[in-house]
Amino acid sequence: MSDMPSAPSQRWLTIIGIGEDGPAGLGDEAKRLIAAAAVVFGGRRHHELSAEITTGKRLAWESPFEKSVEAVVAHRGSPVVVLGSGDPFLYGVGATLSRRIDAAEMHVIPAPSSFSLAASRLGWPLQEVTSISLHGRPLDLIRPHLHHGRRIIALTSDDKTPGQLAELLCVSGFGQSRLHVLEALGGDRERHRHAVADGFELAQIDPLNVCAIEVVAGEGARAIAFTPGLDDALFEHDGQITKQDLRAITLAALAPRHGELLWDIGAGSGSIGIEWMLADPSLHAIAIEQSSERAARIARNALAFGVPALAIVEGTAPEALANLPEPDAIFVGGGGSEADVLETALQALRRGGRIVANAVTLEMEAMVLSLYRQYGGRLTRIEITRAAPLGSMNGWRAAMPVTQWCYIKK
């Protein structure tokens, strides 16, 4: 249920971005609003920075943070100030509060973000930089962005993150990358140090830091290409994987769009769901796999490709599909020939959603042909032939043909 009003109301909530320079970096309006506020929400550091101008009641953020969101919402209609770091709408408290409070109720005064400050110190055009938050998030999220020559600015969690990032760069083949550690930006304690990842020895790092990376790929570096159909060798698998060429064709047929959810039924190595999520950060996927060993392998692959949010459901379809969120797209590979799997998947698919089924066995092909006759859609025969050694010479070796059925639910 939404807490947003049906019509714009008085702006009772003021969200103010504050930097490490405290009141000195605030404009007159922001200082006046903080001083006049009866209630001021913020983190401990925010309250310390604004202590000299705060006269009202200071309320610190609670854990879990949702408690504090409820406390802010409970003051609806009464003047309240919320303090955030830098730009509150860039991975900040403003973004969180906006899910519950309409913009018409807010007055926002942002300050320069950590990304802006870091870019200005380094002389990097911000529009050419990849900005990512690793604050309270898995470091693996940075993996898809590791391409030679790329510049990355990352928000961190604490003083340990820079060293952990250096280690991740080294094990991924990017050990010669230059890692900048920018500490306490905008304040009296500001400091900028740098080191090559494979020689990283910086100590006594301020917990309030931002890391900037100049990516240098070494020989054999694990760079994740932008195009679908990644090299099979990048995946850990036991042979149960949609092969590279067929995977590219399958992902094109699935046609991911912003914010959509995919069910990957009989996920095997998880390659389809992983590449679906790599297409855009807004995408989600659920891998359904009956084998415990393969489910664990999918989880490892998801981390290695930087999509740790891939959900994994261990179980056998169609039973394992019960109570899952409604999908926008479904891929059926392994296990599709089991009774009722395809029909159950079709029933679960939202209207306008896409289903793609790849049939290799005669039994699965018979089911796909039956569904094609019943529902229509597009039926494609895919045959791929590759050069392979033939004695002392080379010849063409055909892979097993695949019948692919694509259907948009009406």
pLDDT per residue, tens digit, the chain (410 aa), is 445 443 434 899 999 999 999 999 999 999 999 999 999 999 999 999 999 999 999 999 999 999 999 999 999 989 999 999 999 999 999 999 999 999 999 999 999 999 999 999 999 999 999 999 999 999 999 999 999 999 999 999 999 999 999 999 999 999 999 999 999 999 999 999 999 999 999 999 999 999 999 999 999 999 999 999 999 999 999 988 999 999 999 999 999 999 999 999 999 999 999 999 999 999 999 999 999 999 999 999 999 999 999 999 999 999 999 999 999 999 998 777 777 999 999 999 999 999 999 999 999 999 999 999 999 999 999 999 999 999 999 999 999 999 999 999 99
CA distance readout (Å), 130 to 89, 133, 158, 198: 17, 10, 20, 22
Q: Note whether 181 and 200 are within 8 A (CB).
A: no
Res 339: pLDDT: 75
pLDDT confidence of residue 333: 87
| 8 A C-beta contact, residue 405 and residue 377 | yes
This prediction has a pTM of 0.91
Closest by alpha carbon to 140, among 1, 294, 278? 278
Give the model's pLDDT for residue 130.
Answer: 97
With the CA atoms of 273, 256, 384 and 243 taken in that order, what torsion angle do they form, in degrees rounded to the nearest 10?
-10
Predicted local distance difference test score (pLDDT) of residue 5: 45
pLDDT of res. 76: 92
Residue type, 241: I
Q: At what angle do helices 244-254 and 271-278 cross, to 10 degrees?
A: 60
CA 186/CA 21 separation, integer angstroms? 6
Give CA–CA dist 270/250, Å, rounded.
14
Chain centroid to CA 294: 23
Q: How high is the pLDDT of residue 10?
A: 84
For residue 337, what pLDDT is reported?
74
| Nearest partner of 405 among 361, 371, 362, judged by Cα | 371
Q: Among candidates 304, 240, 249, 292, which has minimal Cα distance to 269?
A: 240
- pLDDT value for 338: 79
Q: What is the SS3 assignment for 329? A: strand
Burial of 247 (0-12, 13-18, 19+ CB in 10 A): buried
